[in-house]
Each structure stands twice: as C-alpha cells, then as structure tokens.
Amino acid sequence: MKKLYVMMITALTMGTVFTACSSGTGRSEEKPVPNIAVLLTEGFHDAEAYMPMGYLVNKGFDVTVIGPEKGLVKAYNSEFTIVVERDMDELVTDDFDVLVIPGGQAPAALREDPAVVAFVRAFFETGKPVAAICHGPQVLITAGVMEGMTSSGYSGIREELESAGATYMDQALVTDKNLITSRVPADLAVFSRAIGETLEDWK
C-alpha cells in the first residue's frame, strides 16, 4: 500500500503539470509536437490516467483528454477529477498521434457508446500507436480490433480478450504492432515509458 500511495502522489503531481501545460486544442501549427489523446469518462482510474499524462507532458508532448461528453468527470477510486476537453462530435483521427485508454470502470461505459467505439476502431486502423492499461482493452475488444493481437491487461478480462481472438500475456508490458498494453497500476512506469518511446522520433 505504501508503494501505491507514493505512486499516487507522484501521479497527482504530474497531473498538476498537465493542467498547466495542455492546450486541449489539437496539434499546434506553431509547435509541431505530437498530440496524445487520453480517452476516459466517469469512473476512470486516477493513477492510470494521471501518471501517463504527467509523464508525457514532462517529455514535451501535448495531451488532450477526450470522451463522450465535455466536462468534469470523477475517478471511481478517489475524489480526483479530470476535465474532458473534447467530445466525439468534434474529433477526427488526424487530430492525434497516439491514443491512450486508462482503466477503471470507465472502459465499461465507453464501450457502450457507438461514437466512441467507432472512433477507437478508426484510430486503431490508422496504424498509429494505441496504449491501453487494465480494463482499457475492453474498448478495443468492442471495437473489433483485437483478433490476432497479443495483449496484456487486467487478469479479469483475460477470457474476454481470448474470446475476441487475442493472445493474453500476463506481463507488465506487451507490445504488438501498434498496440501497447499493461495490466495494473504497478505497471505504469513501463507503460508510460513505452508510450514515450514510440514518440522519440519527434524530438
């Protein structure tokens, strides 16, 4: 528990940096850096959202929170919140270079939204990096893109992944083509680093 607590404090500190730095308006013409979309809604896991966001902002990348509707949404496991900056009605896949899907209870809601599922499917099919942790791969399952893929994820969704045609691996980090997956908050360091490494050529 102590280790997780320290991780949470670090993640929330990074979240403060995110709030100060993210423009939320897509890729800037003046600063052609990659833009990472973080897809979530009510019930997201706080560390699984804040930790990658903070890490990527500190690396100099733009981060935009997207979801079914704009506005404030709350984590299921704490009192922390995030503002969804852009909704599905105003998004196209060309707006972003990487898609990140945190876990928690949010993926179960996201996969019920046809617009979200269509966007995720279209983004995945571009071949650009998609990163999902914990329950995040559930959205990819509903999008119908997991057949033939190798994936990690929360152990509780292993059967669902395999039923969708994926090969499940109980590992902290699994990469396959454009897919990056991890299991639980303890994997966040390697998960975040792997996302950053896909963007190294942008420097």
Query: Domains in the chain, ordered, with CATH?
Result: 2-202 (3.40.50.880)
Average pLDDT, the chain: 88
Give the residue from 93, 101, 28, 113 showing the smallest Cα distance to 65.
Answer: 101
CA–CA gap between residue 104 and residue 40 (Å, rounded) = 9
CA–CA gap between residue 165 and residue 150 (Å, rounded) = 9
Q: Which of 135, 139, 160, 191 is catalytic?
A: 135
What is the per-residue pLDDT for 113? 98
The model carries a pTM of 0.85
The stretch 52-76 carries a mean pLDDT of 96
For residue 34, the 8-state DSSP code is: -
pLDDT-based confidence at residue 67 (cuts at 50, 70, 90): very high
For residue 4, the 8-state DSSP code is: H
Instruction: Please say if 45 is a catalytic residue.
Output: no
